[in-house]
């Protein structure tokens, strides 16, 4: 079970990376407008 | 079809790919008749044909335009008429149509377009004209600075919620290991390890997302007031410190999982609340963007178009008929009639002559006038009103806060109970003490409680808005849920709010001469005649003379025509007998030609068709309905009789002060809902428990109103009370459910009958139940009663 000493911190690092990516996306404005991009899908050009 | 997209070769023209596909499908199935049907309904695209030259003015640049490092310019424009996916497609095609436009991006929900262009290649006025041709009249967006602050707030909040969620999930996973091993299957070494892991993981949540609560608590302590943040911050801090001490000492319960989930749940509640409050501010913002962006300023005898922001006191502006007045000022020359409904709610036109004050946002309906500007831009009356709308929207304390306060107290109680449980069980069975304390903490996680009210309120407000009912805050819903007294304004609320020709008896040729003498008048009676016979062409009248409040006379095609009240007309003409009035609420108008009365009309403000059913529906639900009007008592009595209301509750001849006094007097015996429009109701609406402004209602009433009905008539009022009732029922059910759940859970845990594992499974179940119950509740989707 002592593999937990390696796996758990590793998991936490992955979580930290995911959270970092999320915060980056938020700051870049990815979540500012959730309605329009869905409508842009009708553009077929 | 917008001119910019017409393909010369095609037989049929389409505005977008969607329409083309739709047409192909419809055509294929032989349903072409759809187009002949829909054409009658759809309003055609009508460009204003404005030159938009003011968009190129340097003052406009300084106010709205941002220069990007690449040399491109960027501006935010509010577009009229945006509604669907094809709008996105069209607007974002502008860079293809116009050379020099680098980017055009549309936010559908807020109707805001962000445009970037190269000033060397193309001018902004060209872009604006192009958008106008496509059918989207552009207006400079004035909330840009505020918008930036809002975007920053939104992003910070979203980031906080995301971080809190990630941390809560991971701490719960660690807690799961602790609880499932709690029966003795976990070694001391691993237990310590997982405790430390949760300690380390929860720490960032306390530092970043939870900082809003600590900052709020500190700020409120500094001003010596207890806000809802204080108990929350206290609970969080106590739990965290106690948990940290226990972790380091390696004994006693740790509270980290409960803390992490609580932070997340509270942040979600706060986010929903924030979005609800903005709905009201948004509508005010849009109206501000719709007041005229340009003014025609007179300088040295020539007229130039400039942005209205660039106006200075002392400037003279030229306002044509149909234009909106760009700034507060006094009329310098010319005479006209203004539609002041934006400010006063009165649809009656107001005549102005040199020396009269006029206000920004009112519409010039008759002739050209020149206005000497006294208070432009932000200092104008309408700008002042808008600021007050925003402030009152921000100040209102929704019931959401009481639920948050409850959650804070709840945390403190739970911490005490948990410690108590631990101490008591230490005496009974030391080995199980930690287990039972932990089970208590888990099972009583207050997130269901914290979510119950904000979720139900924001779902209800969102659904109401979709039905044309804008609710400013949860407290209004709370008050509207219980039947009490509702006072209705007459003009514009129960009635159509404008004079209508109700009855006409006389030969048709008389209509022409009536219109002829009334053509120059802005009197409501003249408006009523003009609306009643839109197809009748009037000859020109000579020697027209008005007698204020009585009537008008003149010469039409050689005949002498008199139109006016019976007293006025009968001193100038013979009559074979005048029919008696059919109702007290109507005004009789006689028409005489060459000294003989030839026709008779009755003019009145007719009841809205839905007024009587709505009043009946309210009364059957236990509401007391009254009328409170500034109109003459006989007219109000007649309206009251038509609606079947007791005479005591129909009060006429009320000045704004009388209305306020009446509302205050009624407040002593219970809550009062005031429904009205117009500035003369504003004070009464502010004083009432809930102020409801009805469609056509003025901005002045929106300032003090808690609810704005964007659909005409009184039917939405019935819907509103029913929706409020259902919303409150949902909230009560949610709170009752989470409290019962928590009491049972806490009881079982303290008695030592709840294993931590079972608690961990039950905890999210309670939150999910509340979420599901709130979303599913058909608070405002029941449709009109």
- For residues B476 and B520, the model is more confident at B476
Q: What is the mean pLDDT of residues B254-271?
A: 78
Q: Which residues contact B431 (CB under 8 A, 6 or more apart)?
A: none
If you average pLDDT over residues B40-50, what whole number do you get? 52
| CA separation for the pair B650, B635 (Å, rounded) | 10
From B199, B217, B205, B214, select the one nearest B263 (Cα to Cα): B205
pLDDT band at B249 (very low <50, low <70, confident <90, very high): confident
Interface test with B, best of A9, A30, A37, A43 (most B CBs within 10 A): A43
Q: Is the pLDDT of residue B623 over 50?
A: yes
Which pLDDT value is given to residue B145? 65
* Nearest CB to B108; choose among A27, A32, A35: A35
Give the orientation angle of helix B144-180 with respect to helix A4-27, to 10 degrees.
170
Is the predicted pLDDT of residue B80 greater than 90, yes or no? Answer: no
Cα angle value B609/B481/B404 (rounded, 5°)? 140
pLDDT at residue number B36: 47
Using pLDDT thresholds of 50, 70 and 90, give the confidence band for residue B597.
confident
Label residue B80 exposed, middle or buried (CB < 10 Å: 0-12, 13-18, 19+). Answer: middle
Judged against a pLDDT cut of 60, whether residue B356 lies above it is answered with: yes
SS (H, E, C) B71-129: CCEEEEEEECCCCCHHHHHHHCCHHHHCCCEEEEEEECCCCEEEEEECCCCCCHHHHHH
Sheet hosting strand B672-676, strand order edge to edge: B469-471, B707-709, B690-693, B672-676, B485-488, B624-628, B650-651
Q: What is the DSSP string of B35-80?
A: HHHHHHHSPPP-------GGGGSHHHHHHH-EE-TTS-EEEEEEET
Chain B nearest-CA distance from A19, in A, is 6
Of B131-140, B374-383, B717-726, give the range with the top mean pLDDT: B717-726
Q: Which residue has the tokens 């808690």?
A: B706
Q: What is the pLDDT of residues B366-379, one digit of tens each?
A: 778 899 988 877 67
Share of residues in chain B with pLDDT > 70 (%): 72
Q: Cβ B84–A44 below 8 Å, yes or no?
A: no
Residue from B162, B191, B193, B203 to probe the interface with A (highest A Cβ count within 10 Å): B162
**CB nearest A39 (choices: B85, B151, B200):** B85
Q: What is the pLDDT of residue A21?
A: 94
| B-chain residue closest to A1, CA distance | B190
Cβ <8 Å between A32 and B170:
no
Q: pLDDT-derived band of residue B386, with 50, 70 and 90 as boundaries?
A: low
pLDDT at B275 over 90: no
Residue of B490, B726, B482 whose CA lies nearest to B621: B482
Q: Is the pLDDT of residue B682 over 70?
A: no
Average pLDDT over residues A16-34: 88
**Cα B588 from Cα B578, distance rounded (Å):** 10
- pLDDT 10s digits, B25-42: 656 655 555 554 443 334
To which residue do tokens 């109109």 refer? Answer: B631
Picking from A4, A26, A45, the nearest residue to B162 by CB comes out as: A26
Instruction: Give the list of residues 6+ apart from residue B485 with CB closer than 8 angstroms, or none.
Output: B623, B624, B625, B626, B666, B670, B671, B672, B673
Nearest residue of chain B to residue A2 (CA atoms): B190
Beta bridge partners of B67: B73
Confidence of residue B783 (pLDDT cuts 50, 70, 90): very low
In angstroms, rounded to a whole number, what is the distance separating the alpha carbons of residues B72 and B65? 10
- Give pLDDT, residue A19: 92
In angstroms, rounded to a whole number, what is the distance separating the alpha carbons of residues B44 and B42? 6
Residues whose CB falls within 8 Å of the CB of residue B409, separated by 6 or more in sequence, listed in order? B231
The CA radius of gyration of chain A, in Å to the nearest whole number, is 18
Shortest Cα distance from A36 to chain B (angstroms)?
6
Tokens of B429: 């069975």
Q: Report pLDDT for B204.
A: 92
What average pLDDT does the segment B81-103 reach?
77
Nearest by Cα to A15 from B260, B203, B208, B170: B170
CA atoms within 13 A on the CB side of B584: 12
What's the whole-number mean pLDDT along residues B477-501? 81
Q: How confident is the model over B355-370, as a mean pLDDT?
A: 82
Stretch B302-331: mean pLDDT? 81
Cβ neighbours of A31 in B, within 8 Å: 154-155, 158
pLDDT value, residue A13: 92
pLDDT > 80? residue B399:
no
The end-to-end CA distance of chain A, in Å, is 55
**Is the per-residue pLDDT at B286 higher than 60?**
no
Categorize the per-residue pLDDT at B731 as very low, low, confident or very high, splitting at 50, 70 and 90. Answer: confident
Kindly give, in sequence order, each residue whose CB lies less than 8 Å from that of residue B547, ignoring residues fewer than 6 positions away.
B553, B564, B568
Per-state percent for chain B, helix, strand, coil, to nearest 5: 55, 15, 30
- Interior angle at CA B701, CA B700 and CA B706, nearest 5: 130
Count of CB contacts below 8 A, A vs B? Answer: 69
Cross-chain residue pair B109–A4, CB shorter than 8 Å: no
**Rounded to whole angstroms, how far apart are CA atoms B486 and B675?**
7
> A4 pLDDT band (50/70/90 cuts)?
confident
Instruction: Check CB contact under 8 Å for A22 and B197.
Output: no
The predicted model gives B674-701 an average pLDDT of 69
Q: What pLDDT does residue B38 have?
A: 40
Do B17 and A43 count as a contact with CB atoms less than 8 A apart?
yes
Mean pLDDT on B200-207: 91
Mean pLDDT in chain B? 75
What pLDDT does residue B37 have?
Answer: 44
B716 beta partners: none
User: Is B109's CB within 8 Å of A36's CB?
Assistant: yes
The complex's ipTM works out to: 0.88
Among B490, B451, B466, which residue's Cα sits nearest to residue B265? B451
Which pLDDT band, with edges at 50, 70 and 90, does B397 fall under?
very low
Pick from B86, B155, B193: CB nearest A26:
B155
Q: Is the pLDDT of residue B284 over 60?
A: no
At B160, the pLDDT band (50, 70, 90 cuts) reads very high
- Which position has the higher pLDDT, B451 or B584? B451
Q: Do B84 and A8 touch (CB under 8 A)?
A: no
Q: Could you tell me which residues are beta bridge partners of residue B554?
A: B561
For residue B663, the SS3 value is helix
**Chain CA centroid to CA B693, Å:** 11
- 8 Å CB contact of B155 and A27: yes
- Burial tier of B235 (Cβ tally within 10 Å: 0-12, 13-18, 19+): buried
Report the pLDDT averaged over residues B615-643. 85
pLDDT mean over B271-288: 58
pLDDT band of residue B770 (cuts 50, 70, 90) is: confident
> What is the model's pLDDT at position B784?
39
Q: Is the pLDDT of residue B723 over 80?
A: yes
DSSP A1-45: -TTHHHHHHHHHHHHHHHHHHHHHHHHTTTTS-SSHHHHHTT---
B622 or B572, higher pLDDT: B622
Whole-angstrom Cα distance, residue B578 to residue B570?
10
For residue B8 the two structure tokens come to 């010369």
What's residue B39's pLDDT? 39
Neighboring chain A residues of B17 at a CB cutoff of 8 Å: 42-45
At A24, the pLDDT band (50, 70, 90 cuts) reads: very high
Task: Decide if B92 and A43 are in contact by the 8 Å CB cutoff.
Answer: yes
Task: Suggest the residue from B5, B82, B88 to mutate for an interface test with chain A (most A CBs closer than 10 A).
Answer: B88
- The answer on pLDDT for B388 being more than 70 is no
* C-alpha distances out from residue B593 to B527, B597, B779, Å: 21, 6, 60
**pLDDT value at B704 more than 50:** yes
> DSSP state, B576?
S
Q: What is the mean pLDDT of residues B643-670?
A: 82
């Amino acid at each position: 079970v002592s593999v937990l000493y390696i796996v758990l911190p590793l998991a936490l690092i992955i979580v930290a990376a995911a959270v970092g990516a999320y915060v980056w996306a938020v700051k870049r404005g990815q979540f500012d407008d959730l309605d329009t991009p869905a409508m842009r899908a009708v553009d077929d050009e | 079809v917008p001119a910019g997209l017409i393909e010369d070769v095609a037989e049929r023209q389409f505005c977008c790919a969607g329409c083309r596909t739709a047409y192909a499908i419809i055509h294929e199935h032989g349903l072409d008749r759809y187009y002949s049907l829909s054409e009658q309904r759809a309003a055609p695209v009508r460009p204003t044909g404005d030159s938009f030259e003011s968009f190129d003015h340097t003052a406009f640049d300084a106010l709205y335009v941002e220069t990007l490092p690449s040399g491109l310019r960027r501006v935010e424009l509010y577009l009229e008429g945006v509604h669907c996916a094809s709008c996105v497609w069209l607007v974002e095609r502008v860079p293809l149509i116009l050379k020099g436009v680098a980017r055009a991006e549309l936010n559908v929900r807020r109707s805001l377009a962000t445009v970037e262009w190269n000033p060397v290649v193309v001018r902004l006025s060209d872009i604006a004209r192009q958008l106008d041709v496509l059918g989207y009249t552009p207006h400079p967006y004035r909330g840009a600075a505020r918008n930036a602050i809002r975007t920053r707030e939104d992003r910070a909040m979203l980031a906080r919620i995301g971080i809190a969620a990630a941390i809560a999930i991971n701490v719960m996973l660690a807690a799961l290991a602790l609880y499932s091993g709690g029966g003795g299957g976990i070694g001391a070494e691993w237990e310590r390890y997982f405790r430390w892991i949760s300690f380390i993981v929860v720490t960032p949540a306390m530092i970043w997302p939870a900082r809003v609560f600590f900052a709020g608590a500190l700020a409120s302590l500094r001003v010596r007031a207890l806000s809802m943040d204080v108990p929350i911050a206290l609970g969080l801090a106590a739990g965290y410190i106690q948990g940290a001490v226990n972790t380091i000492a390696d004994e006693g319960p740790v509270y980290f999982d409960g803390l992490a989930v609580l932070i997340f749940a509270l942040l979600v509640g706060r986010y929903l609340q924030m979005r609800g409050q903005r709905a009201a501010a948004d509508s005010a913002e849009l109206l501000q963007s719709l007041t005229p962006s340009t003014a025609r300023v007179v300088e040295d005898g020539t007229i130039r178009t400039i942005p209205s922001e660039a106006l200075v006191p002392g400037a003279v502006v030229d306002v044509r008929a149909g234009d909106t007045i760009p700034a507060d000022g006094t009329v310098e020359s010319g005479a006209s009639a203004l539609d002041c409904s934006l400010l006063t709610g009165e649809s009656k036109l107001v005549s102005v002559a040199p020396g009269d004050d006029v206000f920004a946002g009112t519409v010039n309906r008759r002739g050209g006038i020149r206005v000497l500007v006294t208070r432009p831009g932000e200092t104008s009356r309408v700008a002042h009103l808008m600021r007050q709308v925003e402030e009152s929207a921000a100040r209102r304390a929704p019931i959401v806060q009481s639920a948050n306060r409850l959650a804070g107290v709840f945390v403190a109680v739970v911490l005490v109970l948990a410690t108590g449980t631990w101490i008591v069980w230490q005496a009974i069975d030391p080995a199980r003490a930690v287990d039972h304390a932990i089970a208590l903490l888990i099972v009583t996680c207050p997130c269901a409680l914290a979510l119950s009210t904000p979720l139900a309120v924001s779902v209800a407000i969102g659904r109401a808005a979709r039905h044309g009912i804008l609710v400013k805050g949860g407290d209004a819903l709370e008050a509207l849920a219980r039947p009490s007294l509702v006072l209705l304004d007459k003009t514009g609320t129960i009635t159509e709010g404008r004079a209508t020709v109700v009855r006409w008896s006389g030969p048709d040729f008389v209509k022409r001469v009536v219109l002829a003498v009334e053509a120059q008048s802005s009197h409501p009676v003249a408006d009523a005649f003009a609306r009643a016979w839109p197809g009748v062409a009037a000859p020109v009248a000579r020697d027209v003379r008005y007698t204020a409040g009585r009537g008008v006379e003149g010469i039409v095609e050689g005949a002498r025509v008199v139109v006016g009240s019976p007293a006025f007309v009968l001193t100038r003409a013979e009559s074979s007998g005048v029919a008696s009035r059919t109702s007290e609420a109507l005004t009789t108008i006689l028409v005489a030609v060459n000294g003989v009365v030839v026709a008779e009309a009755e003019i009145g403000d007719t009841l809205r068709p839905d007024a009587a059913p709505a009043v009946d529906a309210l009364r059957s639900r236990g509401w007391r309905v009254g009328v409170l009007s500034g109109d003459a008592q006989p007219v109000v009595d007649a309206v009251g009789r038509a609606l079947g209301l007791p005479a005591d509750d129909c009060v006429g001849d009320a000045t704004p002060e009388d209305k306020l006094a009446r509302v205050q007097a009624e407040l002593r015996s219970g809550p009062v809902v005031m429904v009205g429009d117009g500035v003369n109701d504003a004070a009464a609406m502010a004083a009432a428990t809930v102020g409801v402004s009805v469609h056509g209602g003025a901005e002045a009433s929106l300032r003090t109103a808690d609810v704005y009905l964007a659909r005409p008539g009184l039917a939405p009022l019935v819907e509103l009370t029913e929706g409020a009732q259902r919303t409150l029922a949902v909230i009560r059910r949610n709170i009752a459910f989470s409290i019962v759940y928590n009491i049972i859970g806490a009881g079982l845990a303290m008695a030592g009958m709840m294993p931590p594992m079972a608690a961990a499974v039950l905890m999210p179940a309670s939150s999910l139940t509340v979420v599901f119950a709130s979303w599913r509740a058909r608070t405002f989707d029941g449709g009109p009663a």
